[in-house]
Homo-oligomer: A and B are copies of this chain.
Amino acid sequence: MASTALLTDMYEFTMLSAMVEDGTVHHQAVFEAFARRLPEGRRFGLVAGLGRLVPLLEDFRFGEEEIGFLLSASAITEATADYLRQWRFTGSITALPEGSLYWPGTPLLTVRGNVGECMLLETLILSVLNHDSAIASAAARMVIAANGRPLIEMGSRRVHEEAAVAAARAAWIAGFASTSNLAAGHLHGVPVAGTAAHAATLARPTEREAFAAQIASYGTATTLLVDTYDIPTGIRTAIEVAGPELAAIRIDSGDLLVMAGEARALLDELGATGTKITVTSDLDEYVIEHLAGAPIDGYGVGTRVATGSDHPTAGMVYKLVAVNDGIGEDGAPTPLRPVAKASADKASVGGSKTVSRFPDGREVWTLDGSVPPGAVPVHIDVARDGAFLPVASAAEAREEAARSLESLPAQARRISSGTAFRISEKHEGDAR
């Protein structure tokens, strides 16, 4: 794998250089990733990305190509080049499991190590968690709105070609049934789905010939797209060609609420009572909820899931919360001290936090490492002393997400605009 070390903001390296010069680079530190708030109107967040992040962190390393570029860009000094030649991550990482719920302020991922190594990972950690969690959080709302009807993720063409693969994975973790993205199937084991677009119909002289070709290749266990010209005509032609055993039709335009009802009536009239109706076309959680009463068997969601349904980023930040002052006069490491900036609107809570949850979902942070009676700590080990541990598969994360969504009270499962349903409790522990 190529090095991921340059997927990083330049200032991490200019800061590193100043720290190499004055020795701060070796001080012990704790950084935490968290979201100051949920996107406007959202009632919960669903964290995703950890399974993608770990291999990217394992490939974070410096060869002469990376170091040569950093020197040429004046991002580092010569002394820092020497430091990076020896660099490898030696710290420890804990995190919420992929597929967990999160709230404003919940520490999602904690990195402990020396200041230099922790700081360099900021951009990569945030890029992965911010993107994947934004998609998973939006997808989870669509899964709730669909109320058991299967969802296909099909937004690849609307977003960056690699982000599309990650989006398909995140949507699947949140509960989508499948994706159109083949690379997501190949790399992450996401079930893939897809049958035909309008081009298949337009490429033939008639719709009938297009349907016949598709049935010839796939039999009746396929989905015919019936809206290229006129939907009732398309449905009649589909059933004439495929017979009433046709698995499904797809409608990709028009007023889907009306169209689905008319299509169901026509299919039933034609004896195709088992033929399912899939709809696509600018769906999101709001439209899906609106279609709840229509005779629809499945949804294909594109743009709106792959772009996070108005919130393409989860807004997470990665902050230094504790640091020591190096080796003391007695030759021993000085204690960690909590730190926090006081900037207007961006004040943060200092100190390294232990996150626990009670069975009812209430969340508690402690600063002294304690776990309140009846609660359990929720971070898992991701890396210990520089060694990365096996990470849950996307399929396992999907099971975790299903349990998470199941645990939400009815109020938090509402699609309408709201606030985070349960604010974290912070217990002031002893940070000294």
Contacts and interface: CB of A to CB of B under 8 A. Distances in A.
Contact of A200 (B7, B18, B154, B196): B18
Given A14-B195, A182-B8, A163 B160 contact: yes
A159 interface: yes
A99 B24 CA distance: 44
A190 to B, nearest CB: 10
Interface string A313-353: 10100111001010000000000000111111110000000
A32 B184 CA distance: 26
Interface in A1-59: 4, 6-15, 17-19, 21-22, 24, 27, 29, 31, 56
A56 B156 contact: no
Interface in A176-218: 180-183, 185-186, 192-205, 209, 213-214, 216-218
Contacts of A127: 156-161, 164
Contacts of A308: 312
A163 B131 contact: yes
Interface string A339-378: 1111111100000000000000000000000000000000
B312 A214 contact: no
B11 A343 contact: no
Interface stretch (A116-124, A379-387, A398-406): A116-124
A165 interface: yes
Given A194-B11, A216-B18, A320 B203 contact: yes
A116 to B, nearest CB: 10
Interface in A272-327: 303, 306-308, 310, 312-313, 315, 318-320, 323, 325
A129 to B, nearest CB: 9
A12 B312 CA distance: 27
B163 A163 contact: yes
Interface stretch (A82-90, A227-235, A238-246, A424-432): A227-235
Given A73-B182, A123-B156, A15 B161 contact: no
Contacts of A319: 198-199
Contact of A182 (B6, B303, B312): B6
Interface in A89-109: none
25 contacts: A7-B161, A7-B164, A8-B181, A9-B156, A9-B157, A11-B197, A13-B182, A14-B196, A14-B218, A18-B196, A18-B216, A21-B213, A22-B216, A115-B199, A127-B158, A127-B159, A127-B164, A130-B159, A131-B160, A131-B163, A160-B163, A198-B341, A202-B320, A253-B346, A303-B315
